[in-house]
Amino acid sequence: MNKVLNEAISIFDDVVEIRRDIHSHPEQGNKEFRTSAIIKEKLNEYGVDEILSPTETGVIGVIKGKKGEGKTVGLRCDMDALPVEEETNLPFKSQVKGEMHACGHDMHVAMMLGNARILCKMRDNFTGTVKLIFEPSEEIQPGGARKIIDSGMVDDVDAFFGLHVNPTKNDVGKICLRKGSTATSADEVYIKVHGKSGHGSTPHKANDAILAACQLNVLLGQIQSRNIDPLETCILTVNVIEGGIKSNVIADTCNLIATIRAYTQETREIAIQKIHDICRGVEKISGCKVEEDIRLGYDAMINDSRLVEIISDYYKKELGGDFYKKMEEPFGGSEDFSFFSTKTGKPAVLMFLSAGHVKGMPVSTLHSPNCTFDEEAMKYGMAAMTNAALAILEK
Ligand SMILES: [Zn+2]
Ligand SMILES: [Zn+2]
């Protein structure tokens, strides 16, 4: 059996214990003080070469291979919980009211500590360096990744790997990999329409902000069908429209809030340009002033194809072809792990781990108060990330 998987199985009980402890003490973005302290304590215990603090709660553990100089690989996990009230009856359920590890970041931290322990033990087998990146505040814009990159502490990393658990009905432990577009970008659009109020019976003397807002909504909805390549996807939905006060008063203001998600930077840019164009057009025909504020969120995640090939060949050789599968469709959510590639210019791969669910409970989605995982999956998650690092460092 693959040496890493063997090690992962042998430390599994400890990894489960760490995961349950973190799960019962969730901490939201940038407040991961307890989690951060546990990470540092464990990294110290496992004997990493260096422990860095790129942000107040972020941690980087550095492990140097003893076979000599070589490349540097960054393995990243996120650490934060969500403002969700846990509804499971698990014995290790959240002890904090209104907070829960509903996105599996507790699993990510536990697995990453497992990776640290395995890699410390396997130091003699590889060249170069592994940086284990524990990123705070992935769930809250602007995300923790940017701050870690800005710290300069990952400047020397040649390739980044990230892993996210995914609740599934079966397939527990399967690694899902994809080349190219893997997760969407996510931006917010705030539009304010300023019209001119008037009596409901004399619309010709007013500039109706609500009518303009409705036109904006319809035109924004046409971006996907008329401006984007039919083989590409741009999700643009207006999810808030607020305006007006009374049946006989024409509204002078109306606000819209929308979200845009795209799988490529090109599609995202087309959509953003079209939003500006549509706002100018509606401004002209409605007589209203339209102010749009597009707040850029996370970039789209584009997995480096060459890196996917390197690690899948390595998995096949070390663990067999069944260890992973091709992910047919990209993930519908967004992940700030994308910045480790777009902001550094280095190749990166985000993989997904089919993580089942607790038997007897329904399969639920990430961020749900009933989200559970089968902890068995963590063995394979550790094997995937540590072997990905070795695939680069053993070359
Ligand atoms: Zn999440
Ligand atoms: Zn997440």
Measured in angstroms, how far is the CA atom of residue 139 from the centroid of ligand 1? 6
pLDDT of res. 332? 86
Q: Helix, strand or coil for residue 136?
A: coil
Joined tokens for residue 129:
């360096």
Farthest-apart Cα atoms in the chain, separation: 83
> Which ligand has the nearest atom to the CA of 164?
2
What is the number of other CB atoms lying within 10 angstroms of the CB of residue 201?
Answer: 8
pTM score of the predicted model: 0.92
User: Taking the CA of residue 341 as centre, how many other CA atoms within 13 Å lie in the half-sphere pointing to its CB?
Assistant: 25
The type of residue at 298 is: Y
Catalytic residue among 32, 46, 375, 380: 375
Residue with tokens 């480790």: 340
Measured in angstroms, how far is the CA atom of residue 69 from the centroid of ligand 2? 33
- 350 touches 182 (CB < 8 A): yes
What is the rounded distance in angstroms from the CA atom of residue 361 to the CA atom of residue 382? 25
* Residue of 185, 176, 251 lying closest to 213 (CA atoms): 251
What is the rounded distance in angstroms from the CA atom of residue 228 to the CA atom of residue 98? 40
Give the residue ranges of DSSP H helices in the chain: 3-10, 12-24, 33-46, 105-121, 145-150, 209-221, 223-226, 265-286, 305-319, 339-342, 377-393
Catalytic residue among 298, 314, 315, 324: 298
- 324 touches 384 (CB < 8 A): yes
Residue with tokens 């939003």: 275
Question: Distance between terminal CA atoms of the chain?
Answer: 20
> Which ligand has the nearest atom to the CA of 365?
1
Residue with tokens 């063995």: 379
**Blockwise average pLDDT, block size 10, the chain, 395 residues:** 96 98 98 98 98 98 96 98 97 98 98 98 96 97 96 98 96 97 96 97 97 98 95 94 97 97 96 98 98 97 98 97 95 95 98 96 94 98 98 88
Cα 377 to chain centroid, rounded: 19
Q: Helix, strand or coil for residue 15?
A: helix
Joined tokens for residue 98:
């209104």
**Rounded to the nearest 5°, which phi and psi values hold at 177?**
-125, 150
Using alpha carbons only, give the angle 332, 335, 339 rounded to the nearest 5 degrees: 135
> Which ligand has the nearest atom to the CA of 366?
1
Joined tokens for residue 101:
């590890």
Characterize the bridge pairing of strands 129-135 and 72-78: parallel
pLDDT of res. 395? 61
375 is known as an active-site residue: yes
pLDDT of res. 44? 98
Specify the DSSP element, H or E, that contains 287: none
Measured in angstroms, how far is the CA atom of residue 366 from the centroid of ligand 1? 7
Measured in angstroms, how far is the CA atom of residue 304 from the centroid of ligand 2? 20
The type of residue at 51 is: I
Measured in angstroms, how far is the CA atom of residue 267 from the centroid of ligand 1? 23
- 137 touches 144 (CB < 8 A): yes
Using alpha carbons only, give the angle 221, 223, 225 rounded to the nearest 5 degrees: 90
* Residue of 106, 116, 178, 180 lying closest to 386 (CA atoms): 116
Joined tokens for residue 11:
């430390």
Query: What does 104-121 look like in DSSP terms, one character per residue?
Result: SHHHHHHHHHHHHHHHHH
Query: Per residue in 343-382, pLDDT tens?
Result: 999 999 999 999 999 999 989 999 999 999 999 999 999 9
Query: Per residue in 150-167, pLDDT tens?
Result: 999 999 999 999 999 999
pLDDT over 90 percentage in the chain: 97
Query: What does 234-247 look like in DSSP terms, one character per residue?
Result: EEEEEEEEEE---T
* 322 Cβ contact list (under 8 Å, min separation 6): none
What is the rounded distance in angstroms from the CA atom of residue 369 to the CA atom of residue 90? 12
